[in-house]
Amino acid sequence: MGDARPIQRLIDEGYYDPETRSVRVIRGHELHAVNWQVEGALRMLFHVLDPAVAKDPKNLVVYGGSGKAARNWECFEAIVDTLLTMGGDETLLVQSGKPVVVFKTHTHSPRVLMSNAMLVPKWADWEYFRKLEAKGLTMFGQMTAGSWAYIGTQGILQGTYEEFGAIAEQRFAGSLEHRLVLTAGLGEMGGAQPLAVKMHGGVALVAEVNREQIKRKIEQGYLDTWSDDFGKALSIALSAKDRGEALSIGVLGNAADLYTFVLKEGIVPDIVTDQTAAHDPLNGYVPSGISFEDATRLRREDPDAYMRRAMSTIRVHVEAMLGFLDKGSVVFDYGNNIRKLAYDAGVSDAFRIPGQMVFMRPLFEVGRGPFRWASLVGEEGDIRRLDEEVITLFGENEKLTRWIRNASKHVRFQGLPARVCWLGYGERALFGVRINQMVRKGELSGPVWVGRDHLDGGSVASPYRETEGMKDGSDAVGDWPVLNALINAVSGATWVAFHHGGGVGIGYSIHAGFGLVLDGSPEMDLRAERVLTVDPGLGVVRHADAGYESSLRLIEEKGIKAPTARIGSKIQH
């Protein structure tokens, strides 16, 4: 036993089985690492790979097509060994899912710094990435897979709730009651759509090619019912719409086929979008005219033929979406880059379909974005207690309180119990410090991790999604996510991640995220206030720099020291 690796303890305790490649969440108050700052990173890594959370944990894939938590199992074990033995004043560097070095830094430094899938721009495309991946040299981390910040479908559920809520407010007098939403994809991201639509009172009709994903979402409470008969499913949806009943129906079948069917039937849904993993057409999109099982085989045996068929189907898929747009539906690209793929496949007017930021940008302008937390000891009661605290602190926000009440009623926890909501500049710091104080006073049973999606106002450059159509034309300027990672690191985040390609695929985005372990110490009061101020604050500054009036007003109102003066309609430095 003297030669046993550190990970053996977790194997003995049943948290990891190297034979079956099974990872389970670590619960309880007993530390395995030097302190909670390192233990928090360890627990979130195990959390994202728990079968209740991850899409394909046997292959280390968490969600989003092929988004992984570690490059391979050897790297996973090496990361774990390192976290179990490193000091409280050391920092582990992880290069695309592979641990490369531990340096002595200081106690306020991040315990982990990671970079995923970063390529020199000239070589930044899927083809070159896959060559490197095949050689074992890189890994696709998506957004919150490789940064160990994924909390299951709830994470995207809340963002989807905000998206459909913004559309309801701007187009349908604040509600989706008596409204039909046609969409596709019931994976770990798209699977949030049916419940988000229901929370706003609408009817969701959702195409999905994988029967097991439909079953999984019904079991998790995200989907009500399903059918493999297009006509029957459409009839159920229209009846519910007429009655004003909130309902979600999964449809076993290809999205392009279902959209074309509905269009030919002369039905005009109120909203049409898509959340298949089309950003990665080889691994995340299934062609029409082939079963899911046969598609899996074709992908492996003849990827070139698979890609040709996938691109052909995407063309039909987006042509149907354009058909709905012309008939008056609210149609938008949900950020999976399907418009660009369709354009490449010959749909010259694919970009007539707007992107999701048409509805969401006003939130980013004032620093409002995703904020999530998890009980690191696995105590559901702590999440319930924090639900109450959110409502106490921000009860004047009706949409936020409605979300918290809906989430506490409908959302089933996956892995470590967690919650997410969208909070604005100032609100995140207030709530983060309050959480840390509650841990210190014993109002919560143990430490809490907080973080966010990489999709936020100042942490992403993605010209076909979050930064599409910036007022000053700065859609492709990538300095902002770099600055976001840097300022979060020096402000005291527990770990910081910098990624390439999340959401829309390699070559189309760069983005940053962080993790912060609130262990109740006075030190973490200071670090939480710093990180949770500068992180959304950069989003406000980024939009003020682009000339958004609400951002400029907020900078003045909050006294943010941004050396930006407005002269006429331009921003001068």
In 10 A of CB 441, how many CB atoms? 9
3-state DSSP assignment of residue 125: coil
Q: Are 145 and 59 in contact (CB under 8 A)?
A: no
276 is in an annotated binding site: yes
78 is in an annotated binding site: no
Instruction: Give the span between the Cα atoms of 482 and 528, in whole angstroms.
Output: 20
The question of whether 75 is a catalytic residue gets the answer no
Closest CA to 56 of 164, 135, 140, 123: 140
436 is in an annotated binding site: no
Q: Are 326 and 306 in contact (CB under 8 A)?
A: no
37 is in an annotated binding site: no
161 is in an annotated binding site: no
Tokens 């990672």 appear where?
Answer: 485
What DSSP character marks residue 85?
H
In this structure, which amino acid lies at residue 559? G
265 is in an annotated binding site: no
Tokens of 195: 């419940």
120-143 as b/e: b if 16+ CB within 10 A: eeeebebebbbeebeeeebbbbbb
277 is in an annotated binding site: yes
254 is in an annotated binding site: yes
191 is in an annotated binding site: no
Q: Are 322 and 256 in contact (CB under 8 A)?
A: no
The separation between the first and the last C-alpha atoms of the chain, rounded to the nearest angstrom, is: 63
279 is in an annotated binding site: yes
Instruction: Give the span between the Cα atoms of 474 and 54, in whole angstroms.
Output: 35
106 is in an annotated binding site: no
What DSSP character marks residue 431?
H
Closest CA to 546 of 471, 447, 464: 471
Instruction: Give the span between the Cα atoms of 187 and 216, in whole angstroms.
Output: 9
285 is in an annotated binding site: yes
3-state SS track over 312-378? HHHHHHHHHHHHHHHCCCEECECCCCHHHHHHHCCCCCHHHCCECHHHHHHHHHCCCEEEEEEECCC
Tokens of 513: 């995220």
82 is in an annotated binding site: no
174 is in an annotated binding site: no
Using DSSP bridges, classify how beta strands 570-572 and 565-567 pair: parallel, antiparallel or unpaired: antiparallel
334 is in an annotated binding site: yes
| Catalytic annotation, pick one of 60, 145, 421, 455 | 421
320-342 as b/e: b if 16+ CB within 10 A: bbbbbbeeebbbbbbbbbbbbbb
Q: Which residues are catalytic?
A: 421
Binding residues for NAD(+): 64-65, 142, 208, 254-255, 275-279, 285-286, 334, 503
Q: Binding site: residue ranges?
A: 64-65, 142, 208, 254-255, 275-279, 285-286, 334, 503
